[in-house]
Amino acid sequence: MKPALLFFMLFCLTSRLAWASHIAGGNVELVATGKPGQYRLSLNLYIDEASKGPEAVIDPQIFLSIFRQRDNKLMGDFPLKFLRKILLVYANPACARSKGLETSEVKYQGLIQLDAAQYNDPAGYYIVWEKCCRNKNVTNIDRPDQSGMIYYLAFPALLRGGGAFRNSSPVFLTPNPEYICRDKDFTLPFQATDADGDELRYSLVTPYRDNIYTPYGFKNSYKDPDFPLLSWQPGYSAKNAISGKPALTISSDGVLSVRPDKLGLFAFAVLCEEYRNGVKIGEVRRDHQILVVDCSPQVPPKPVITPVSPTGASPIAICLGSDITLTSENAPDFNYQWRRDGYNLPGENKPTIRTTLAGDYTVIKSFATVCTRDSVSEAFRVTYKPNDPARITVADTVICADRPASLQANTSPNFRYQWFQDGQPLPGETSPKLMSPRGGKYRLEILNTANNCLSADSVKLVKSPLTSAIVVASLSGPLCTGSQLTVRLPQSLTGISYSWQFNGAPLSTTAATTRADKPGGYLVTVSDSVCSVKSAVAQVNARPVPQIDSISPICGSSAPALALRGSPVGGVFSGTGVSGSQLNPALVGAGRHTVVYSVTNAAGCRADTTRTYTVVDVPQPDLGPNQTIVVGSRVSLTGPPGTGLTFTWLPVAGLSSGTAISTVAQPAQTTTYRLVVSRNGVCPLSDDVELTVLPGLFIPTAFSPNGDRMNDTWEFRGVESFPGCTVRVFNRWGEVVFASDDYQHPWDGRLSGQLIPSGVYHYMVRPTPFLPEQQGTLTVMY
């Protein structure tokens, strides 16, 4: 082995030994809760307080591991938190003090969730927690300071036969902390209980020994062997864990017995196997150790139990719930410890005990200051008288508005009854049945005259807050068609369902509100998980159906006021521009507007209707003054700007477009054009323009005044149609070389009687004052 590994193993051994040797025993518990897959996992440890060192601290949290039986697969590590620590009671405190004995119980606990689908292997599972090491003073184990403890519990698969298999492990009762006197008969109750009523079988087995070389969190695998067993010292075994005559044994009901013949500290393990229908389904082991000492042969006088109230001999039967006082002789030189069914009763260390519980009572008597053997009384049995205890049967503890609570007691001819509410007797309520519409705490007392036993039962009744339901309109006002109906409850409640009806027929609505689409009777039934309450019928009235006469488009805000008419009569008009029953366009601008007509009938139900009207704003077209043009000329005509306008030009002859906002006119003859502007044919406005068409004027661009009688003059064709035609000719310096205000005689190219030089000249010609000026170049050639 490598030195480093050997050092690590020895370190684990010594460090774990230092704080674990004070653990004297323990066991694991796995108890099912009421929730599917949830369990309460616990570890009980029994601590030898006298032997622990300062390093033996209580961890705030530990981990238990669950493995699968078939292949030792680790299923998970589960944390448990420290829950409590209590000191256990020794029956002979003087000897416990003198021997340095002090034992406590430490409990760790946690809720865990196990998925049945994952824990379904037929071979089952096991839970372990291990620690090293044991007290070095243990007598019957070989090398106890190198042998640890394993606390082990096996449980079955959580699924069997296709369904959930509910099971809780056996739960060991807390053992009495005891020592044993050598050569004295000794018994110790070591029973377990089982929540499922399974058969429990007890046996003494060899304790497991942990693997001291694996730290916390080790994971088994299929190669790992089963847990090793402790090695006994020669002469010791599971059947002889405490040698004696007889040696240590355990009875079928879980009671340990021994008459030891050797001194020492002895360790052993009890196996409790769990059987259901003859088949083993689980097991739990409890490790324990107990000290055998020499005791003084002096024995206190045997105590005798005497019942004080009531008196009599064992067994004494008492009524369930009543008490009995048991006493032993009171002597100041002795200690007393009472037991019930073999288990020490914490705090019951006086000569007298008062109890209400049935069982076998014994009292242990020991010297107060000297450690000797103790003496035990004969058992005194306390039983319950046969009696049918008071039981209240109630269908439901919630009182509904339409259903009082019915409380029924169990009956017998020997019974006398008295009912109470909130601690006060109800006068006259002495029968087995009680009807009550009120909440409170109810108590039933039954006196059985056959055995004079008084028993009681109680139940708390709660009055449902669901006491009434009223159907109202969501918005305050009368109930009218179209209204949203809602339920008014005494207070805000959760978990409520709703069932609506209309004229006795169910509606599909299941919400707290519904829409009243038709006139008639509406009601709702409101229910919680226990109670239901039905509302009164709410009558919903029809709303009126108002109408407004049509309103034609209004041409402009200057149009006269209009009279509004609606039905049925008696309603109220409202809206922009409305005054009484008159609509004044002057109060509104162009566009679409709405008139509202509201009518309220005798039931207070109101209805509104609307009518939309339009004030049409059409701009007045203006085509300008009449114009004179030369034939072939073009004139642009434009309508007013605006959106949504319709343009119509008449006639269309000579126009580029008959429907556009602008058009180009080129008439062949004098023509009067009209533009009609409207909004989609509504509210048309128009304007006319006359275009006077004159014949065309031809202006030559050259002539040759050289006297050859060909183009000797600058002659305009058509000028006769333009009296007052003005002409100007300029040289290149801008000087006028020819001017005429009525060009009816062609120019001969002379200026002041002299021919002008040849060249290019510029002209300006205005045929009439109403026609545009024409410009161009004129070439004079010779």
pLDDT on residue 772: 84
Contact yes or no for 385/451 (Cβ under 8 A): yes
Asked whether the predicted pLDDT for residue 17 surpasses 70, the reply is no
- pLDDT of 380 above 60: yes
Distance between CA 582 and CA 574 in Å, rounded? 10
Cα within 13 Å of Cα(499), Cβ side: 10
Residue 290 DSSP symbol: E
What is the identity of the amino acid at 556?
Answer: G
Q: How far apart are CA 381 and CA 360, in angstroms?
A: 4
Residue 569: burial class (beta carbons within 10 Å; 0-12, 13-18, 19+): exposed
Q: What is the mean pLDDT of residues 142-160?
A: 92
The mean-pLDDT minimum among 104-118, 216-230, 308-322 falls in 216-230
pLDDT one-digit tens code per residue, 569-590:
999 999 988 999 999 998 888 8
- At residue 373, does pLDDT exceed 90? no
Torsion of the alpha carbons at 565, 568, 572 and 578, rounded to the nearest 10: -10
Residue 15 has pLDDT above 70, yes or no: no
The dihedrals phi and psi of 6, each to the nearest 5 degrees, come to -60, -40
Q: Given this model, what pLDDT does residue 251 score?
A: 97
Question: Taking the chain, what is the end-to-end CA distance rounded to the nearest angstrom?
Answer: 140
pTM over 0.75: no
DSSP string for 128-149: EEEE----TTBSSBSSGGG--E
Please state the length of the chain. 782
Residue 107: C-alpha distances to residues 33, 272, 438 (Å)? 18, 20, 45
Q: For residues 289 and 266, is the Cβ–Cβ distance under 8 A?
A: yes
Reply yes or no on whether the pLDDT at 11 is more than 50. no
Whether the per-residue pLDDT at 2 is higher than 60: the answer is no
DSSP string, 719-771: GGG-TT-EEEEE-TTS-EEEEESS--S-B-SEETTEEPPSEEEEEEEESSTTS
The structure tokens listed for 527 are 């229910």
State the average pLDDT over residues 188-205: 96
Rg (CA), the chain: 60
Domains, in order of start, for the chain: 3-293 (no CATH), 306-384 (2.60.40.10), 392-463 (2.60.40.10), 470-540 (2.60.40.10), 547-616 (2.60.40), 627-694 (2.60.40.10), 702-780 (2.60.40)
- Residue 20 is predicted with a pLDDT of 55
d(CA 146, CA 148): 7
pLDDT > 90: percent of the chain: 70
At 743, list the tokens. Answer: 């060009």
Among the listed residues 677, 679, 678, the one whose alpha carbon sits nearest the alpha carbon of residue 592: 679
Cβ neighbors of 714 (< 8 A, separation 6 or more) are 700, 703, 746, 747, 748, 749, 778
Other beta carbons within 10 Å of 296: 12
CA dist 688 and 639 (Å) reads 11
pLDDT at 211: 60
pLDDT for res 498: 95
Query: Does pLDDT of 436 surpass 60?
Result: yes
Q: Exposed, middle or buried, 47 (CB in 10 Å: 0-12/13-18/19+)?
A: buried
Residue 44 and residue 26 in contact, taking contact as beta carbons nearer than 8 Å: yes
Angle at CA of residue 449, ends 448 and 454, nearest 5°: 40
Q: Give start and end residues of each alpha helix (H) in 21-103.
A: 93-98
Mean pLDDT of 596-618: 93
Q: What is the mean pLDDT of residues 122-144?
A: 91
> Quick check: 52 pLDDT over 80?
no
Model confidence band, residue 148 (pLDDT cutoffs 50, 70, 90): confident
Summarize pLDDT for 290-346 with one digit per residue, the tens. 999 998 888 999 999 999 988 999 999 999 989 999 999 988 889 999 999 999 998
Matching residue, tokens 């040696």 = 247
**Mean pLDDT value of segment 76-92:** 93
Question: How large is the average pLDDT for residues 220-242?
Answer: 79
Q: What is the pLDDT of residue 225?
A: 44
Distance in angstroms (rounded) separating the CA atoms of residues 219 and 221: 7
Determine the average pLDDT of the residues in 151-168.
94
Query: What tens digit of pLDDT does each residue of 652-667 get?
Result: 999 999 999 999 999 9
- How many degrees, rounded to 5, is the angle at CA 323 between CA 93 and CA 458? 125
- What's the mean pLDDT when you consider all of the chain? 90
